[in-house]
């Protein structure tokens, strides 16, 4: 008989186990297939993937849709994506007046441990009271940020709290439109956080081992919903923070920062002039250039970083403004969903050499479904979707729960396969891919079955 140690508790006391235990919130449908011979796989330890660019190196994935459902977890509220390393999947959500950090087995959904803490956060616009930031796994630790700005460092194997910081209290940050949503950037030994304190700091670096502040940067801009991104530019590492949330008058923009010292190389203002707007799309860095964009009539701009680390604006465009999804760059072109709302969203390809739209499309189709015994037919589409580049093609999650395999080139788009995973709005979280398994958030109630929010695991192994 297997010996298990169980410590079930609240208020930050984790549930510990030598082996994962049966999870009553999980329904298991099948075992995943074995990986195809020679398949390349990787862990997904960070927001937008291991390189924070919505690109995966995995290979030998099935193009057949619908993909088999392996398991589903009955989750609470929130928009957080899971992080995965080895046999640990870490997920952040909210049930009642508590936020929960779950550590599950990626192939079965069985629970390793659970850590809980109280929350009083309320979404001022009534969308969702759960967390927005995604977990980050590094060197046996996992880092999470609550909707109220509480940063935890936990031991990955046990859920034990190593340290925590209440960023809103420490830096006197008021609640923004939708709470804290940015995922900290891990760069070397530092966690780089866009805290957005009034009158500064805009950005702080926190030692990942101790939780102590290492440096501060910036005084003007508040916290955005975009997560910082790091890249090597002219042979030097730099952190790019796209700041700017609630402020009146509205302010925000891009900071280029030396991550070792906190020195700001340059600041480029970029934010909608509308008060009720935010910067939420992450910066995309390539060829010593950085692209940023926002909606509410802001659009996008491409900035070239000169050898002396001064910025040069190459172009501005009102035709490519991304609300909360991050565009993908490949061979001189950016692909992403332009548009603020469902009806005006479109999939577009931007030529980064000219600043012109190479093509624009509105993927849509007729969908027949049944609600309360009544058949309905609607023209549906991807709307404000998300894109993941993998295995020579692109996985697209539409915001109503459709999953598509797409072929995207500078000449246009082609649908390879499509299915409807679930009929639920707010499917805004980029799917997570690790070891041939795809993890998709259903963030709101399903229309046809009336089932509550779920984290679903699908088998994409060829």
Q: What is the pLDDT of residues 280-334, one digit of tens each?
A: 999 999 999 999 999 999 999 999 999 999 999 999 999 999 999 999 999 999 9
User: 332: Cβ–Cβ under 8 A, 6 or more apart, which residues?
Assistant: 351, 352, 353, 410
What is the reported pLDDT for 322?
97
What is the reported pLDDT for 304?
98
How do residues 43-69 score in pLDDT, each as one tens digit? 999 999 999 999 999 999 999 999 999
CA 162 – CA 143 distance, rounded (Å): 10
What is the reported pLDDT for 258?
98
Q: Is the pLDDT of residue 461 over 50?
A: yes
Q: How confident is the model at residue 276 (pLDDT cuts 50, 70, 90)?
A: confident
- CA 49: distance to chain centroid? 8
Residue for token pair 């797409």: 406
What is the reported pLDDT for 12?
53
User: For the chain, what percent of residues have pLDDT higher than 70?
Assistant: 96
Mean pLDDT of 193-209: 97
**Cα-based angle 182, 183, 187 (whole degrees, multiple of 5):** 130
How do residues 414-437 score in pLDDT, each as one tens digit? 999 999 999 999 999 999 999 999
What is the reported pLDDT for 370?
87
Q: Is the pLDDT of residue 206 over 90?
A: yes
Tokens of 371: 């609600």
CA 131 – CA 118 distance, rounded (Å): 12
Q: Is the pLDDT of residue 134 over 60?
A: yes
User: 135: Cβ–Cβ under 8 A, 6 or more apart, which residues?
Assistant: 80, 82, 83, 90, 91, 92, 101, 142, 143, 144
pTM above the 0.85 mark?
Answer: yes
Where does 1-26+80-174 sit in CATH, by number? 2.40.10.480
DSSP one-letter code for 130: S
What is the reported pLDDT for 400?
97
Q: Is the pLDDT of residue 109 over 70?
A: yes
CA 177 – CA 225 distance, rounded (Å): 10
Residue 10: closest CA among 93, 103, 102, 115: 115
What is the reported pLDDT for 10?
41
- CA 398: distance to chain centroid? 15
CA 129 – CA 29 distance, rounded (Å): 29
User: 384: Cβ–Cβ under 8 A, 6 or more apart, which residues?
Assistant: 323, 324, 325, 337, 339, 341, 342, 345, 399, 428
Measure Cα distances from 455 to 82, 198, 452 in Å. Answer: 9, 36, 10
Mean pLDDT of 199-227: 97
How do residues 7-24 score in pLDDT, each as one tens digit? 344 445 455 557 999 999
Q: Where are the domains of the chain?
A: 1-26+80-174
Q: How confident is the model at residue 371 (pLDDT cuts 50, 70, 90)?
A: confident
CA 13 – CA 162 distance, rounded (Å): 12
What is the reported pLDDT for 17?
56
User: For the chain, what percent of residues have pLDDT higher than 90?
Assistant: 92
Cα atoms in the Cβ-side hemisphere of radius 13 Å centred on 267: 17
Phi, psi of 236 (to 5 degrees): -125, 145
């Amino acid at each position: 008989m297997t010996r298990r140690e169980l410590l079930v508790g609240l208020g930050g006391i984790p549930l510990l186990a030598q082996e994962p235990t049966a999870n009553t919130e999980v329904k298991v449908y099948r075992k995943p297939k074995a990986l195809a011979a020679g398949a390349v796989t990787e862990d997904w330890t960070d927001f937008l993937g291991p390189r924070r660019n919505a690109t995966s190196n995995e290979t030998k994935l099935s193009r057949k849709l619908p993909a088999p459902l392996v398991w589903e977890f009955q989750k609470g509220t929130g928009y957080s994506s899971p992080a995965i390393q080895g046999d640990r999947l870490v997920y952040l959500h909210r049930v009642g007046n508590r936020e929960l950090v779950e550590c599950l087995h990626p192939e079965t959904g069985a629970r390793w441990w659970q850590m809980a803490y109280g929350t009083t956060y309320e979404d001022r616009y009534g969308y969702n009271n759960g967390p927005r930031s995604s977990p980050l796994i590094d060197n046996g630790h996992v880092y999470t940020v609550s909707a109220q700005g509480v940063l935890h460092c936990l031991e990955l194997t046990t859920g034990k709290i190593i340290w925590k910081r209440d960023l809103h209290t420490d830096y006197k940050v008021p609640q923004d439109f939708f709470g804290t949503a940015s995922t900290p950037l891990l760069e070397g030994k530092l966690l780089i956080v866009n805290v957005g304190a009034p009158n500064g700091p805009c950005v702080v670096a926190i030692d990942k081992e101790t939780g102590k502040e290492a440096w501060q940067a910036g005084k003007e801009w508040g916290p955005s919903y975009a997560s910082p991104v790091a890249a090597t530019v002219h042979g030097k590492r730099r952190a790019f923070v796209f700041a700017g949330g609630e402020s009146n008058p509205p302010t925000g923009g891009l900071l280029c920062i030396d991550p070792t010292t906190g020195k700001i190389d340059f600041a480029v203002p970029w934010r909608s002039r509308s008060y009720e707007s935010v910067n939420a799309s992450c910066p995309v860095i390539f060829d010593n250039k950085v692209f940023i964009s926002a909606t509410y009539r802001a659009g996008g701009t491409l900035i070239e970083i000169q050898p002396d680390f001064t910025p040069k604006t190459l172009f501005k465009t009102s035709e490519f403004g991304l609300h909360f999804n991050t565009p993908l760059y490949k061979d001189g072109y950016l692909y992403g969903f332009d548009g603020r709302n469902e009806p005006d969203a479109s999939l577009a390809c931007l030529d980064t050499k000219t600043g012109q739209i190479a093509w624009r499309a509105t993927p849509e189709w007729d969908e027949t479904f049944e609600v309360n015994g009544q058949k309905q037919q609607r023209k549906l589409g991807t709307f404000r979707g998300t894109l993941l580049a993998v295995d020579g093609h692109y996985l697209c999650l539409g915001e109503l729960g459709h999953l598509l395999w797409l072929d995207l080139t500078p000449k246009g788009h082609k649908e390879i396969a499509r299915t409807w995973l679930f009929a639920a709005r707010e499917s805004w979280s980029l799917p997570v891919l690790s070891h041939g398994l795809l993890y998709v958030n259903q963030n709101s109630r399903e229309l046809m079955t009336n089932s509550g929010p779920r984290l679903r695991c699908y088998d994409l192994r060829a």
